[in-house]
Structure 1
Amino acid sequence: VTGSSGSGGRGGRGRGNFGGNNFLVGQQSGISRTNAFGLNYGDMWGKKLEVTGSYFFNNSNTNNDQFSNAQYFIKDSSTQLYDETNFSGTDNFNNRVNMRFEYKLDSNNSFIFSPSLSFQDNDRSSAVNGVRYYTLNDLISRTTYRSEANSSGYNSNNNLLYRHSFPKKGRTLSVNLSAGFNNRKSDIILESVNEYFDSGNVNDTTQQFTDQVVKGKSYSTNIAYTEPLGKKGQLQFNYSPSWNINTSDQEVFQYDNIAGKYSRFDTSLSNRFDNRVTTQNAGITYRIGDRDNMFSAGLSYRNTQLDSDREFPRPATVDKSFNNILPSLWWRKKFNAK
């Protein structure tokens, strides 16, 4: 069991993403407070089943307040001043579970099942107020910006591996099945007002709400068979199909002053996209050598089918097929036998 709690400041700029470590957002700049808890588990369930697992929880809260003052010297010897305040905050919750079940049926057969699940909830808010002026009574422009966003989602990956060793040394069969699922939902409110006093009090106002849902599914199989050839040679056949299905639905609504809510659907900023990729891969590889000197040569064929449908902002359909022949050569030499 592990745990930690702390706070501190971080300089620089952060960037949010839905990538590394199965988390939706990355590190953020500002003053942070973090609480973390972890648990590791390992045990034998009977004589043939070994179980290991881990659980990790992380909560971080980050606040970043910035104040800036700038002075600009214009060619005609006049001076422009700019003052800005920028407030932002992030509250993030992460949970991650990893498990591994290894079952040894006998000396020639084994199964390994490795599921993992991570999910996150993230709240972000920011507010910016800026004013450009000659004097406090002679304004040039003023900007007010506010945004609030909530994102939540999960990633799940599951892997099942079966391995079989035949009585003949070097003859093996392995089958690997994988399935992955992910889902992310985001709600974003954006409000901004730009006022230009030098242009006759012109206002540029944006009030919009974004509802975004991204879903993904992936399935793959890898079947490998090895056959010994001579004392140091081995021939491997493999077949690896995979299927990936992704959907993205982003709907943007502008604020309707008469209705008093975000109800005007904006097709120019909205998009609906379905993407399907099917891959078929088959190959053969020959290896010869030992741990000090190894050479391999292989050849594989890959077919990739891409199908995409888009509804917004403009309807579009993609139907493409790609075929590739992929040769490979590999040689390893250990010069120091020690």
Structure 2
Amino acid sequence: MHDEAKPRRLRRDGRAAALFAGPSLFGLTLFTLFPIVLSLVMAFFQWPAVGERTFTGLENFATLFSDPVFVRALLNTLLFVVLYLPLNLIVSVGLAVWIGPRIKGRKVLRVVFFLPVVTPMVANAIVWRMIYQPNGLIDGTLYAATGVHAPNFLGEQGWAMFAVVAMSVWQGFGYNMLVFSAALDAIPRHLLEAAQIDGAGPWRQFFRIMLPMISPALFFASTMTLITSFQVFTQPFLMTGGGPGMDTQTLMMFVYDKGFSIYQFGLASAGAWIVFVLILGVTAVQFAGQRRWVNYDV
């Protein structure tokens, strides 16, 4: 009797699980999987908002790589990644080390440093645009102290991308700081105490003990930060609109313009898939190289 009841109970549990998981699976299929498949199909078509759709094969991809605006957006995105990723990691690791167990009020500092991450990026971008503008906080403070005006950070070529990167680092370093802080707290104290007894200074302790011990956290943070940095959109869109000229035009801004400004959905989808392949390739390289520098031994 017991053996007969078990299959019925399993079927009942399966139906209950399907009932609870059904709405989420429906939403995932409708709003995630279906758009992904549709965008892949659209990438191989000339797909206007209204009118006939024509299969073009790889023509959309060839058109993008022959478009100087797309190439410039690609180079700008790579420049953003090259600047943003190391700065984010350096600031995050540095602050995580600074707010160690011996610092009073470290819990409060963690909350303060994490606040920019949970505040809306749109609001942050608007506030930073006001800070950067002529007669804004930076310009006004510098002029009051020295009598010299600050550059027009968002309006002069050569400054705009660095201004966007600085704002992005301020917005995003708090998350990685918490990751590194937790990893540093997990390091056995006796290792650092033994190194200190042997005469190792703070820098040697950091490079010889702390950095290898937090390398899994560093790998995770660098991978996630790399993925998000390739998708940068909100900061340049709101702060500079892609200018001055095309100095801060990024790949996601290019995709947005093609898709929702001139309604060339085929080109927009092709651009989105190029971003996907680029992120996938860089991430694969990172995973392949982790064996050389990530230490999972406790």
Structure (1/2) with the larger strand percentage: 1
Q: Same fold (TM over 0.5)?
A: no
Structure (1/2) with the larger helix percentage: 2
TM-score (norm 1): 0.19
Over alpha carbons, which structure has the higher Rg?
Answer: 1
Report which structure shows greater RCO (CA 8 Å, sep ≥6): 2
